[in-house]
Every structure is written in structure tokens, then in C-alpha cells.
Chain A
Amino acid sequence: MKPRFSIVSLTGCSGCISTLISLDIFPQFLERTKVIYFPFISDTENIEDCDIALVEGCISEQKDITYLKKVRKHAKKVFALGTCAAFGGILSLSFSKDAKPISTFIEIDGIIPGCPPPSKLFGNLLIRLVENKEINLSEKVMCANCPLRENSEVDFNQKITRINPNPDEILIGEENLECFLKKGILCLGPITREGCENKCITLGFPCEGCLGPVSKDFTANVINFLSLTNLSEDLKNYEGIFYRFSKPKLRR
């Protein structure tokens, strides 16, 4: 019996779905599974029983909750696909809109993080799901295998004044590349799960944290980390960092 899949979109950009369709293994994925619900490419309107549901997008409206609960009811396993579903995502920057991860409302069986999920990671995890195997993510942070790591003990005394390097600083393929934090540029590598092969960093850009933390709450991680660093005043007040991919969880 081929495993039955549902591919569900909530509030988001559809980038995870377009990444899925662009995967090298997408034809193989369709071949080895029975995709029973996938509104992006199929006319089926009813959510039916399935083995695995992949859910992209965050919960922003009441109707998302009803829809999500229905998905949960019909699926043996539910996985959050992408950073919106896993942590809330880019809409967390909004003051007026909700951007809740799906785990706020239902039990989930795992996450495939990233904005979008890195193709290699996504492909490997997807194959494991097709084969009915557990999926595991690395427990290490980006720094563990960072190409700029060499002589690095992160120096927390270095004043962090910027979140973006200047275009002329982004030197490609130069040997004198140095840890961004040492240059006073904020990099969220120390609190972000590895899995993207340090794509941004290799290209000369600091990590913006899209894969989320290894454990616990996203915003709490950012705040803990920033409290250790010597952050300039204007960055301390910039929501663009704290809420980039998640809002803090408030407990009553």
C-alpha cells in the first residue's frame, strides 16, 4: 500500500509548496505515494483519511483553526512544513495579525523547518516520510559546521551595530572571511539549527535564523542570545530581529 498524503496550505506564501514541486524527487514522491488532497494541483475538495499531512502556513484566522483541526482528525501524522507552520513565520512582524504555529492548536509529529525548507534537507526528510521512517533534525546550531568558524570563540564583547553587511563587504570566495559577529554584524547562527549547509553565510550574508532554534521558543532564544551580546541601542529596539520569524509565546 502506498502511503496516503495530504498537502495543506494555511496562511502563507505557498513557497514551501513551490519548493516541494521543484524538488528533484517530486516525480518520485508522486510515484511512491498516493496524494489524496493537494488543492494547489488537484480538484479534490474534501479532506479524507490519510497517513501523513504536510501543512504549510501559519494560523492567522479563525477559519485556519477549523481547517487545521479537520486535517488533524483525518491524518495519522501531521508535520509542519516550513517556518510559518513551525514557528509562525514572517507574519510575526505584524502587530495586528496573528501568526501562530500550528502546534498551538494541534499535536504535531514533527517539523520540516526553513523559509523555504532547504531542498536537500526537505528531499531527505520527505523520502523518510514516504518510507514510513521517523524524521530527525540535527541538534546542532549553525556555528557547528560554519565555514567561518575556524578561529572562533564568539567574542561577546564585540559591539554589534548592524544587521546587514554593506554590499561592498560581501566578498565572495575571499580567504579573509571572518565571523560576522566579530565584525559587529548580527548573525543568528549561534541559535539557529543547522540544516541549510550554511547557504547564506557561504554567500557572504549573515544567518537570519529562518530554520529556527534547536529547542524551545524562537523569540526566547533570540532574546537570550542578544542579552549576551553587546548590542547597539538602535538594534535593541528593532522588532525586525526579534519577531522576524516568530512571536513570543505568552503564558497566562
Chain B
Amino acid sequence: MIVLLKIVDVCTRVEGHGNVKILVHNDEISNVEFDIEVFRGFENFLIGKNLMDIPKITSRICGLCYASQTIASCKAIENIYDIDISKQSILLRRLLLIGELIKSHCMHFFFQSLPDLFQIFDFNRKFLSPYDLIKYDPDLTTYIYELIKIGTEVERGFGGRSVHLITPIPGGVIYLPSRKNISIVRKYFQKALINLELMIEKFIDLFSNQVPPKEYNLPNIMYMALNNLNKFDRYEGSMKIKVNETNIIEFQEKNYVKYFNKEVDLRGIDFHFNKDKMILVGPIARFKIIDNYGIDNINTYIEFFDKSWQNSILYSNILRLMEMYFEIQKGLEMLEDPVLNTRIMPPSFKPVKNSEGMGVIEAPRGTLLHHYSLGENGLPKEIKIFIPTEINIPIINEMMIRYAQEIYDKTGDINFVKKRVQTIVRAFDPCIACAAH
């Protein structure tokens, strides 16, 4: 007799509603899938909306990646109008993306990742509730709270609100920061660097002499990220896909269709140029594409983690800390630019020049691309939004199947499998709200 058993478990400590579906066939695990049930249909209802309204609506796709969604959307619309925005606006957008990154990376690091790392490395300490976590190391908790506050203050200071920003619109960021404004953010960033240094030191103390279990090793995959002349850049540059060490494809976002595409209103992104390998986006991909952040301190920190980490998805935990450190350093440089508080008139909008527009950004979780096509009435008739988490899902699934089969063979305990495979899901920091767009 064939016995088929489907086990569905709700993922906890992820952003939004996701399930892990495990299929047991004759007492063997035949499939494991990360499943996002909800589908909201933004690509559908954005059709026909006023172009100037779209960034405000796309922001509401996600309360963690709001700045990335809005700014990618603004870039796509500016591409349609063929307008360039001021250097001041670019700086402000970059600063808003930094604020978002700090909040998003910190929330993931502390609430989602840290308890798993303790479990993965068998530290004999369980965090059964958020209270256990908060009490574990009060200093660390304070650094995290302070960093989240700093991210929030940057968004409030330059964006008008902590989530769903007001000031970024097509044409730029319509806000003139005062000197006081800038000096407050400078103080916050300086404080953030100190906190991060202390956090990184703690992280090194805890984990640098550990060897990540091989179950967390990434399969043989490709990496995709935005980069700017081989430098780390989340706002502008060209897109790169690293197929292997010697084969790196570089292209502009307007040519993305050559490499990947999607069906509107359907899940999944199809990388049709190479069907053999899956593709990863996010902190690890960003790092693999540039190889070096170009900041000495960061190189020193990274060297604490030996080769065994470099192909592990757990490496992203280190890189998230490094990305915050890198971006805050860059943020401090941006704050010194006199153009930041110079009154500059935004560009004026001439009639629409292109019938299509694309905007790409590196969101906290990876490459985010918006592509809008206009109909004859000048309003969008097709909207495509490429979400980083959707790109990563095939890799998450493959790693979960491999891991689940292995631990089920060893233990025969399906409840243990259920709990354990979730640590793989969380290591990828999936954004379910975005994926459920």
C-alpha cells in the first residue's frame, strides 16, 4: 500500500505568512516546498493607474522593503519620461535605502537569525520566547534597538515617515534637508558605527571558530546583483550574473529579457538563458559579484571566518553586518556633500518619451526590478515586478529537500524535520509580503 502524507507547517519568525509543505511517500520524504499562499495581485491592479500614483501604491507591497519598492518604481517612471534626477535626490534616495537596510537587516539578525544560529551550532541555549532573547545579552539588545531607531530616524528625517515614505516621488526626493537635519543624522550614523563594531566583535567571538554544518552549503548556483564598475552599489550601475568564476555576464536592466522573464500574475521567475543552474540574489550574491567591499576594516572582519563559511547560506549573516557597516560609512561621506542642502529645482516633466520603463535597485534581499509598459492612453497596460525572494525560492526548496531527507533518515522524527528545515528558510531572510505581491 502506498502511503502519502502531506505535512504543512506554518513558518514562524519570518516576515509574513509562509508554510513549509513536506510530502512523505512510503515513509520517505519526496518533496519539501516553501509555500506562500497569499497572492495580492499588485501587478494586476496597478494597470491604468496614474503614473505619479504608482510609487505610493508599490510602497505598500512591503512594510520592510518600502523604500526599495518606491524607488525602483520611481526609476521605472523616470525611464518612461526620460528624465534625470538631481545629484541631491540621488543622495537622498541612497540615504533612505540605508535607513531601510539598517532596520531590515537588524530585525532579521536579531529576531530571526540569532536564535537559529545558537541552535545550529548546538550552543545549549534555547530562546523559547522573545524575552529569552532580549535577556540573553542586554548590551546586544540595546545595540539592536538603537540601530533600529537610527534606521527609523533616517527615514523620518529625510523621508517624512518611518515606513511608506512621503518625499520620494518620480523626479527625485522632494525635500531640502536643513543643516540641523543633516547633523542629527550624522550623529546617528556615528553612533551606529560604534554599535555595529561592538556587534560584529560579539559575532566574531561567538561564531568565528565554528564550522557551519554542510547542510547549509549552497548548491552549485549562479549569482546576480547590481554593481557599479565592480564596486558595491545598490542604487545604480549595471546588472551582473556570475555563472562561474570565469563567466560573468554584464548587462543593462533594459536588456533583462535576454536573461530572465516572468508571467504577470504568476509566481516564479524564469532564467531561460541557463536552465542548468539556479540563481541566488541578496547579500551573498552582492559580495560574490564584487569580491571586495573596498573597506579595510571589513576585510579584517571577514578574514575571521574561514573558507568553510564562504559557501554556506549562513555566511549571509556576516555579510548583512558588513553591508550595514559599509553603507553607514558611505552614508557618512554622503552627508558631507554640500549638494545635500542646496536648493535644487526638480526636473520638469515633458510628455512621455518611452512606452516602457524599467527601474532596478538592490533591495535588502536582492535585485528588485520594476518594468512598466504603457498602452495608447498613456497609462500602464502591463506591470511586471521581479521580487528577490521569488528568485531565491528554488534554491530554498532544493536545500530543504536535501536536508529534510537526510535528517528524516537519521531520526525518523517528522516534527524535528519540520522545525529544522525552517532554519533554512529563515537563513535566506525571505520577504513574504514582497513575494505575495
| CB of A39, distance to nearest CB on chain B (Å) | 5
B40/A199 in contact, CB under 8 A: no
B346/A203 in contact, CB under 8 A: no
B13/A42 in contact, CB under 8 A: yes
A91/B40 in contact, CB under 8 A: yes
Query: Please, which residue of chain B has its CB at the minimum distance from the CB of A63?
Result: B37
A93/B57 in contact, CB under 8 A: yes
The verdict on A152 contacting chain B, using a C-beta distance below 8 Å, is no
From 14 to 45 in chain B, residues with beta carbon under 8 angstroms from any chain A beta carbon are 14-17, 37-38, 40-41, 44-45
Given contacts A30-B131, A41-B13, A90-B60, contact A166 B41 (CB under 8 A): no
Query: Please, which residue of chain B has its CB at the minimum distance from the CB of A93?
Result: B45
In the complex, A94→B176 CA distance in Å?
35
Interface size class of B (residues with CB under 8 A): 35 or more
Query: Would you give the 0/1 interface string for A24-40, flagging 1 where the beta carbon is closer than 8 Å to chain B?
Result: 10110010000100111
| CB of B132, distance to nearest CB on chain A (Å) | 10
Given contacts A22-B151, A43-B128, contact A94 B45 (CB under 8 A): yes
Q: Which residues of A contact B143 (CB under 8 A)?
A: none
- Of listed B16, B131, B148, residue having the most chain A CB within 10 A: B16
B162/A22 in contact, CB under 8 A: yes
- A116 touches which one: B61, B163, B347 (CB < 8 A)? B163
Among the stretches A105-113, A125-133, A168-176, the one at the interface with B is A168-176
The verdict on A14 contacting chain B, using a C-beta distance below 8 Å, is yes
- The A/B interface has a contact count, at CB < 8 Å, of 157
Count contacts on A: residues with CB < 8 A to the other chain: 56
Among the stretches B166-174, B321-329, B355-363, B367-375, the one at the interface with A is B166-174
Given contacts A22-B151, A93-B45, A94-B44, contact A164 B13 (CB under 8 A): no
- B64 touches which one: A11, A18, A39, A63 (CB < 8 A)? A18
B346/A119 in contact, CB under 8 A: no
Query: Please, which residue of chain B has its CB at the minimum distance from the CB of A31?
Result: B134
Query: Please, which residue of chain B has its CB at the minimum distance from the CB of A10?
Result: B17
A15/B349 in contact, CB under 8 A: no
Among the stretches B48-56, B202-210, B220-228, the one at the interface with A is B48-56
In the complex, A178→B371 CA distance in Å?
36
The verdict on B152 contacting chain A, using a C-beta distance below 8 Å, is yes
In the complex, A24→B166 CA distance in Å?
21
The verdict on B416 contacting chain A, using a C-beta distance below 8 Å, is no
The verdict on B149 contacting chain A, using a C-beta distance below 8 Å, is yes
B12/A14 in contact, CB under 8 A: no
In the complex, A96→B39 CA distance in Å?
11
- B174 touches which one: A41, A90, A167 (CB < 8 A)? A167
Q: Which residues of A contact B345 (CB under 8 A)?
A: 168
- B62 touches which one: A14, A39, A91 (CB < 8 A)? A14
B60/A44 in contact, CB under 8 A: no
Given contacts A11-B40, A91-B40, A116-B161, contact A38 B130 (CB under 8 A): yes
Given contacts A18-B103, A167-B346, contact A172 B149 (CB under 8 A): no
The verdict on A230 contacting chain B, using a C-beta distance below 8 Å, is no
| CB of B107, distance to nearest CB on chain A (Å) | 6
- Of listed B17, B37, B160, B167, residue having the most chain A CB within 10 A: B17
| CB of A70, distance to nearest CB on chain B (Å) | 13
A238/B63 in contact, CB under 8 A: no
In the complex, A203→B172 CA distance in Å?
14
Instruction: Identify whether the interface residues of B are mostly helix, strand, loop, or mixed.
Output: loop
B13/A40 in contact, CB under 8 A: yes
Given contacts A19-B63, A42-B129, A170-B174, contact A97 B152 (CB under 8 A): no
Q: Which residues of B contact A16 (CB under 8 A)?
A: 63
B433/A240 in contact, CB under 8 A: no
Query: Please, which residue of chain B has its CB at the minimum distance from the CB of A58?
Result: B40
- A13 touches which one: B13, B37, B52, B63 (CB < 8 A)? B63
A172/B175 in contact, CB under 8 A: yes
- Of listed A13, A22, A166, A167, residue having the most chain B CB within 10 A: A13
A203/B160 in contact, CB under 8 A: yes
From 113 to 159 in chain B, residues with beta carbon under 8 angstroms from any chain A beta carbon are 115, 128-131, 134, 141, 145, 148-149, 151-152, 156
The verdict on B242 contacting chain A, using a C-beta distance below 8 Å, is no
Given contacts A14-B15, A14-B16, A15-B164, contact A22 B152 (CB under 8 A): yes
The verdict on A248 contacting chain B, using a C-beta distance below 8 Å, is no
| CB of A172, distance to nearest CB on chain B (Å) | 5
The verdict on A155 contacting chain B, using a C-beta distance below 8 Å, is no
The verdict on B348 contacting chain A, using a C-beta distance below 8 Å, is yes
In the complex, A89→B63 CA distance in Å?
13
A199/B17 in contact, CB under 8 A: no
In the complex, A13→B387 CA distance in Å?
14
B56/A208 in contact, CB under 8 A: yes
Q: Which residues of B contact A118 (CB under 8 A)?
A: 161
A167/B15 in contact, CB under 8 A: no
The verdict on B243 contacting chain A, using a C-beta distance below 8 Å, is no
| CB of B267, distance to nearest CB on chain A (Å) | 16
| CB of A24, distance to nearest CB on chain B (Å) | 7
In the complex, A248→B186 CA distance in Å?
46
Query: Please, which residue of chain A has its CB at the minimum distance from the CB of B431?
Result: A14
In the complex, A45→B130 CA distance in Å?
13
In the complex, A16→B12 CA distance in Å?
18
In the complex, A11→B144 CA distance in Å?
28
The verdict on B235 contacting chain A, using a C-beta distance below 8 Å, is no
The verdict on A3 contacting chain B, using a C-beta distance below 8 Å, is no
What are 5 sample pairs from A and B whose C-beta atoms fall under 8 A apart? A27-B141, A45-B10, A96-B41, A164-B53, A167-B347
Beyond A12-B63, A30-B134, 9 additional pairs, beta carbon < 8 A: A13-B61, A13-B433, A14-B64, A18-B103, A21-B107, A40-B15, A63-B37, A167-B171, A205-B166
Give chain B's interface residues, CB within 8 Å of chain A.
10, 12-17, 37-38, 40-41, 44-45, 49-50, 52-53, 56-57, 60-64, 66, 103, 107, 111-112, 115, 128-131, 134, 141, 145, 148-149, 151-152, 156, 160-164, 166-167, 169-172, 174-176, 345-349, 433
